[in-house]
């Protein structure tokens, strides 16, 4: 599915949002763990890396997002704390929750795009 | 939608419920007096640690490393009429700060709620993904 031109970037974007939500979930889960540093995935960094990368092992087409461990690691950024905590934890539950909500919404938007493509396919197949 | 979010949020749920349990135990025993300072109840608290997953080191679930006992000195009270008082008429009460425990409880229950919300959102997204093209 990921290499199918019909769906474009959306399956890759779904993967990215899923990875990002996992990371944000880990942040929220560790909101009370002393010394835990909150992390996030930077889509801009991932996209810039994907645009420079030629087609190779991890991607079949230039411009496709490579979501292997190395590229995800390169796109991982530490959250800059707004209110430093005495125990070294940098999780701000409100920030993480709003980012998670944003990510979930983008995931749903991507789902809608894929759903739309599938519907067009069905229309083409059934001819109705 | 991978099910790893459920593992992560689930680990946080169990960690926070351990924390709630220790708070309940501390509050329940706030007035459990004893006749010597050594055997008095000591406030308990869990120690959380972030534990990175095997497959992806970037996401971490929470693990309760253990439950430690507070080192706070027992409170010595002069109550000669108390059945548990020692020969000088003193009883020893655990040095539990009830206000601190209540704050701990609220924090734990808020964190628990956040993680439940997380699971609900993840479940909704997974269900929507499953119903693609229907």
pLDDT digits (tens, 9 = 90+) for A98-107: 999 999 999 9
Per-residue confidence (pLDDT) for residue B123, from 0 to 100: 93
Q: Give ∠ CA A88-A93-A94 in degrees, rounded to 5.
A: 135
Optimal mutation site among B12, B14, B66, interface A, most CBs of chain A within 10 A: B12
Residues 6+ apart with CB under 8 A from B125: A21, A104, A107, A108, A111, B1
Taking residue B68's Cβ as centre, other Cβ atoms within 10 Å add up to: 13
Whether A4 is in a domain gets the answer no
Structure tokens, A67: 């979501």
Q: Would you call A114 an interface residue with chain B, using a CB distance cutoff of 8 Å?
A: yes
- Given a cut of 60, whether residue A11 has pLDDT beyond it is yes
Which chain A residues are within 8 Å of B120, Cβ to Cβ? none
- Given a cut of 90, whether residue A65 has pLDDT beyond it is no
- Given a cut of 50, whether residue B7 has pLDDT beyond it is yes
- Given a cut of 90, whether residue A72 has pLDDT beyond it is no
Taking residue B128's Cβ as centre, other Cβ atoms within 10 Å add up to: 15
Per-residue confidence (pLDDT) for residue B132, from 0 to 100: 87
Q: Would you call B133 an interface residue with chain A, using a CB distance cutoff of 8 Å?
A: yes
Per-residue confidence (pLDDT) for residue A62, from 0 to 100: 53
pLDDT level of residue A53 (50, 70, 90 thresholds): low
Interchain CB contacts (distance < 8 Å): A and B = 96
Whether A3 is in a domain gets the answer no
Whether A109 is in a domain gets the answer yes
pLDDT digits (tens, 9 = 90+) for B9-19: 999 999 999 99
Q: What is the mean pLDDT of chain A?
A: 84
- Evaluate whether ipTM surpasses 0.85: no
Distance, in Å, from the CA atom of B15 to the CA atom of A30, rounded to the nearest integer, reads 10
Q: Would you call B114 an interface residue with chain A, using a CB distance cutoff of 8 Å?
A: yes
Whether A90 is in a domain gets the answer yes
Top pLDDT among A70 and B99 is at B99
Q: Would you call A101 an interface residue with chain B, using a CB distance cutoff of 8 Å?
A: yes
- Given a cut of 90, whether residue B53 has pLDDT beyond it is no
A73 contacts B59? CB cut-off 8 A: no
Residue B78 DSSP code: E
Q: Which domain range does residue A57 map to?
A: 10-126
Structure tokens, B90: 């003193």
- Given a cut of 50, whether residue A51 has pLDDT beyond it is yes
Q: Are A14 and A114 in contact (CB under 8 A)?
A: yes
Whether A65 is in a domain gets the answer yes
A122 contacts B133? CB cut-off 8 A: yes
Residues 6+ apart with CB under 8 A from B52: B58, B59, B60
Q: What is the total count of domains within chain A?
A: 1
Whether A23 is in a domain gets the answer yes
Per-residue confidence (pLDDT) for residue B134, from 0 to 100: 77
- Given a cut of 90, whether residue A69 has pLDDT beyond it is no
SS3 assignment, position A89: coil
Element (H, E) at A41: strand A39-41
Whether A5 is in a domain gets the answer no
Residues 6+ apart with CB under 8 A from B17: B112
pLDDT digits (tens, 9 = 90+) for B54-110: 666 677 889 999 999 998 888 899 999 999 888 899 999 999 999 999 999 999 999
Q: Would you call A105 an interface residue with chain B, using a CB distance cutoff of 8 Å?
A: no
pLDDT level of residue A61 (50, 70, 90 thresholds): low
- Given a cut of 50, whether residue B37 has pLDDT beyond it is yes
B8 contacts A22? CB cut-off 8 A: yes
Whether A2 is in a domain gets the answer no
């Amino acid at each position: 599915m990921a290499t199918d031109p019909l769906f474009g970037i959306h399956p890759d974007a779904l993967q990215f949002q899923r990875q990002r939500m996992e990371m944000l979930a880990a942040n929220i889960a560790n909101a009370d763990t002393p010394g835990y540093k909150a992390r996030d995935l930077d889509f801009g960094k991932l996209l810039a890396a994907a645009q420079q990368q030629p087609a190779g092992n991890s991607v079949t087409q230039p411009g496709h997002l490579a979501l292997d461990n190395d590229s995800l690691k390169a796109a991982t950024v530490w959250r800059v704390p707004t209110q430093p905590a005495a125990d070294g934890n940098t999780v701000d539950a409100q920030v993480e929750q709003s980012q998670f909500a944003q990510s979930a919404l983008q995931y749903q938007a991507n789902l809608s795009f894929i759903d739309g493509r599938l519907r067009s396919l069905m229309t083409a197949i059934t001819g109705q | 939608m991978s099910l790893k979010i459920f593992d992560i949020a689930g680990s946080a749920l169990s960690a926070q419920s351990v924390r709630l349990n220790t708070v309940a135990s501390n509050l329940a025993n706030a007035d459990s007096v004893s006749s010597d300072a050594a055997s008095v109840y000591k406030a308990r608290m869990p120690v959380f640690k972030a534990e990175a997953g095997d497959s992806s080191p970037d996401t971490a679930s929470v693990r309760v490393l253990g439950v430690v006992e507070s080192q706070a000195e027992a409170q010595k009270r002069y109550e000669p009429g108390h059945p548990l008082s020692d020969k000088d008429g003193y009883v020893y009460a655990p040095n539990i700060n009830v206000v601190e425990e209540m704050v701990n409880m609220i924090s734990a229950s808020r964190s628990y709620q956040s993680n439940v919300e997380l699971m609900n959102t993840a479940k909704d997204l997974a269900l929507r993904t499953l119903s693609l093209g229907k």
